[in-house]
Amino acid sequence: MTFAKITSKEELLKYFQNDEIPKFIDSEISNQTRDLVKLFGATGVDMNRWWVMTHPNWSCPCCSRVKSQIVRLNKHGYLTCHLHEHHDHMADLIGKIFNAASAKLESPIADNKAKKFVIRTAFALSAYDNTVICADCNEADAIGKAAAKTHLDFSFSPSEISSFIITENNKKHTIDENLAQKAWLSSKESFEIRLKMARQIVEIAIHNAHWYQPSENTAKNIENIAKNHFQSIGLYNISDEPEKLLYTTMVHKGTRDSWRKNRHPTPGQTPTRGEILHMSNTNRNYWNREPDAWICPCCKRSKIDCVRKSNKGTWSFEVKVTYLFDEIEKKPYRTSLCNDCHTTTYHAGNEFDINDTLEYKQSVITLQEAQGMIESHKNSKHRISNGAVEKLGEAITQRIAIGYGALRNH
């Protein structure tokens, strides 16, 4: 959805007072804020930048309260609307250790590169990402640390804060000190390991023995400059990926049947139990979504048999939603296939969809036809029967011509 650009404060006021327009940011002049001021009988609004940069229906990741449940009157009678960027203090700590250790040397040699090296590695030592939370949860972090007598530079993560706060709407939190102590004890060992690593990194940095080599002009700098130019000449009004308007993304497309005629899959390697467990831990979205007894309805391979190495050399398992053709009902139906069956049926449909009329390329191919095209093997891409695909071409072309399948809305 696109909106006309706001060109004056008067238009800005109308924008926030028009409840028919979806809002993705907030303001002290919004109808929601004004209603809350009236409800609480507030003198005015005490709001900060994170509040205006978040959705009016934003909820705190720690206490789960929405904005109307977070606001409260301060001692001056103003409606407090404060959110804060909560961060792991390890980044601050490693900077302090670096500055102190370098200054203690008789002849400090650490330069700006060493400083940048320390800053970059600090991100790896942080236990969680910088996260916007409500002011009450941010304050509860400090109270919890004092109660648990943590290291001065330790900070609780958002999920840890959630574990010990006691919440009420429109009031400050209280905390369960025993639970705060429990949260600290469960994190203490890993914090001490990170602290030890921080000191080791500082030791490397203060002697300029680091490996950081900065670029004069980073890829990110070039991308940002280009995006500014794209914006200035209006290319974002045409496409969300304006750079693709300026060059041909696929110069060597090959023929429509090259997906199968130039295909020579190699025998698959069977993953070990450890490799399966590692993949399941790091690829939960697919692996854990399907039951252990899952079998691809097309190639009849089990979950483990569908696992194979990606082009990057990592083990992968994917199950894709696919629309296949029902010969009796003469319409597509929804099913789930392994990634190899999904991509095979996509390419087969795409080969004969000359005018690009199909929204889902597989939607003109039946399950039985898909099975006739492939020869499946454990932990490997399918081998494709060129003859079966070519024989199928006439039926696919006819279905597209009649208007079967999931057609694009032109």
For tokens 């959630």, the residue is 162
Q: Are strands 79-81 and 45-47 parallel, antiparallel or unpaired?
A: parallel
Residue 410: predicted pLDDT: 44
Please say whether the beta carbons of 296 and 303 come within 8 A. Answer: no
The pTM assigned to this predicted structure is 0.68
Question: What DSSP letter does each residue of 53-81 carry, written as one string?
Answer: TS-TT-B-TTT--BHHHH-EE-TTS-EEE
For tokens 């070990």, the residue is 272
Distance CA 125, CA 143 (A): 24
Please say whether the beta carbons of 99 and 65 come within 8 A. Answer: no
**In a structure prediction context, what are the per-residue pLDDT tens digits for the chain, which is 410 residues long?**
455 678 888 888 888 888 877 788 999 999 999 999 999 999 999 999 999 999 999 999 999 999 999 999 999 999 999 999 999 999 899 999 999 999 999 899 999 999 999 989 988 999 999 999 999 999 999 999 999 999 999 999 999 999 999 999 999 999 999 999 999 999 999 999 999 999 999 999 999 999 888 888 888 899 999 999 999 999 988 888 888 888 776 666 678 888 998 777 778 889 999 999 888 888 767 888 899 999 999 999 999 999 998 878 889 999 999 999 999 999 999 999 999 999 999 999 999 999 989 999 999 999 999 999 999 999 999 999 999 999 999 999 999 999 998 887 64
Q: Give the Å distances, CA to CA, from 2 to 5, 21, 237.
A: 9, 11, 9
How is the chain split among helix, strand and coil, in percent rounded to 5?
Answer: 45, 10, 40
Distance CA 132, CA 350 (A): 45
Q: Which two tokens stand for residue 154?
A: 């330790």
- Strand-pairing partners, residue 336, are 321
Return the HEC string of 178-189.
Answer: HHHHHHHHHHHH
Q: Give the Å distances, CA to CA, from 287 to 109, 292, 293, 318, 336.
A: 51, 9, 12, 7, 13
Please say whether the beta carbons of 316 and 282 come within 8 A. Answer: no
Q: Which helix H or strand E contains 335, and what residues bound it?
A: strand 331-338
Q: What is the CA radius of gyration of the chain?
A: 29
